[in-house]
Amino acid sequence: MTRAWFGGVTGTEIRQALEEAGVRPNRQLGQNFLCDPQVARWITDQLDPQPEDTVVEVGPGTGALTHQLLGRVRRLVLVEFDSRLAAWLRESFADREDVEVHHADGARFDPRVLWKYRPVKFLGNLPYSAGGAILRNLLSRPQPFARAVIMLQKEVIERMCAVPRTKDYGVLTLRVRSQWEVKPLKVVPPEAFHPRPKIDSSVALLEPLVDRFPVHDLRLFDELIRRGFSQRRKQLRKHMPDEPGWDEVAEMLGISPTARAEELDLDEWVALARAYDPHPLKEVAQRDGETFDVVDEADEVVAQASRAEVHAKGLRHRAVHVFVVNSRGELLVQQRSRLKDVHPGVWDSSVAGHLDAGEGYLSAARREMAEEMGIEDVEPEEIGRIDACEATGWEHVRLYLVRWEGRPRFPSAEVEAVMWLAADEIDAWIAARPEDFASGFLECWKVARGR
């Protein structure tokens, strides 16, 4: 049964919990336990918990924040690094089906298992020593969270909110704020914890940015900021790629050719990532002027029409889907760009695309594999056919399978993000939230799972 003393989170109760768990607070692990019930309630209220939410709490400790959420949300997923506390939490919540406890490092916990639980929110009284690594693991795109409330040492929150030309401005600032709007909310003094830390903590609200920046390659963005701030006082020209030339890029973006990393704001760093992106389709989400073969129910060509006309009139046409599978049996899925005219922002097959007029299915599959994921010199195997129907967008579809172990390279205008997922995880996600997927992928998944 849930322990009776969970009626509050006072220092006495925290010490009792730690004694029962056999834990002596370890400063190296950042074990400073919140022991102020009013602060705990206030923090969880900032998460705006709703009955349909799943809340992922990293570092629950003795449950000070957890207690404030019991019965207020659909599910609590607790990720605790200390094996003794994880075991104690499991025992404490053994009679609750809405609480699951994971003994895991938040910096390594697999966020892919969380998509099926959406809407998901993130909560963490994070250890000072590992807070940055935890944030990078769980809150970097692709991530499932609709909102996050975090508590860290005050100086880290200040670094997240720093502005150019200040000592706090750097890689952490740009990594976080390229994906999240950060709002510092409250400073929490040392006396709110047991044992007391030597520095102040700060609470911040993070909300995901939507359409704030032009689409850009996130991996290239991260590489560029790491290069630029490796020697923050040096001119950027010494750290940027050779092509295109720095003077050309600086002139195009209106940046001083002698600029240093700390002088550029976030918009300028995004612009740099777009300027240095070598992908030939980095600006192309779809080409409305493309010409497709219009076909009949038997997949025989009857006419040609533009992409825009085919979609507007619901004409039958042709498409390929390719499932890319690795040696672990995981399927590569892609999140469609928000710029797409059909199914923007949802998850889809590893590779999917239309046939151009006069093009064959197999050649289209090869072309799309190269264009969308950078997969070449691998022969796709046909594993299914689907007749044109409303679910496929009136596309006759041929489904192919490829076994591949590489690192996908995709155009940011077409693909927002990618993930490798186990089949059982996809099944669970589809069962819980089919609206997260393109309807054509759902039809292809039925065929593939049937095999």
Q: Convert the pLDDT of each residue in 272-305 to its tens digit.
A: 999 999 988 888 767 667 899 999 999 999 999 9
Which one-letter amino acid corresponds to residue 407?
A: R
Q: Match domain 4-208 to its CATH number in 3.40.47.10, 3.40.50.1980, 3.40.50.150, 3.40.50.300.
A: 3.40.50.150
**pLDDT on residue 451:** 74
Tell me the three-class secondary structure of 136-175, residue by residue. HHHHCCCCCEEEEEEEEEHHHHHHHCCCCCCCCCCHHHHH
**pLDDT on residue 28:** 67
Helical pair 218-229 and 266-276, crossing angle rounded to 10 deg:
110
Q: Convert the pLDDT of each residue in 319-329 to its tens digit.
A: 999 999 999 99
Residues 19 and 2: their CA atoms lie apart, in Å, by 17
Which one-letter amino acid corresponds to residue 92?
A: S
Residues 187 and 201: their CA atoms lie apart, in Å, by 6
Residue 95 burial (10 A CB sphere; 0-12, 13-18, 19+): exposed
Question: If pLDDT is split at 50, 70 and 90, which confidence band does 163 have?
Answer: very high
CB neighbourhood size of 7 (10 A) = 10
71 to 3, 68, 124, 238, 415: CA distances (angstroms) = 15, 9, 19, 55, 38
Q: Supply the mean pLDDT for the chain.
A: 93
What homologous superfamily is domain 291-450 in, according to CATH? Nucleoside Triphosphate Pyrophosphohydrolase (3.90.79.10)
3-state SS class at 235: strand
Question: In the Cβ-directed half-sphere of 204, how many Cα atoms lie within 13 Å?
Answer: 24
**pLDDT on residue 425:** 97
- Please indicate whether residue 5 or residue 162 has the higher confidence score (pLDDT): 162
Residues 330 and 419: their CA atoms lie apart, in Å, by 9
In whole angstroms, what separates CA 9 from the centre of its chain?
Answer: 33
Which distant-in-sequence residues (6+ apart) come within 8 Å of 223 by Cβ? none
Q: Give domain limits for the chain.
A: 4-208, 218-276, 291-450
Give the single-character DSSP code of 437: B
What's 218-276's CATH class?
mainly alpha
Q: Convert the pLDDT of each residue in 95-117 to its tens digit.
A: 999 999 999 999 999 999 999 99
Task: For 364-379, give one letter per residue: b (16+ CB within 10 A) or e.
Answer: bbbbbbebbbebeeee
> Is residue 306's pLDDT more than 70?
yes
Looking at the chain, the number of H-run helices and the number of E-run strands are: 14, 18
Largest CA distance in the chain: 79
**pLDDT on residue 4:** 42
Q: Convert the pLDDT of each residue in 27-68 to its tens digit.
A: 667 788 888 999 999 999 999 999 999 999 999 999 999 999
> Is residue 1's pLDDT more than 60?
no
**pLDDT on residue 8:** 47
Q: Convert the pLDDT of each residue in 127-147 to its tens digit.
A: 878 899 999 999 999 999 999
Question: If pLDDT is split at 50, 70 and 90, which confidence band does 223 have?
Answer: very high
pTM: 0.92
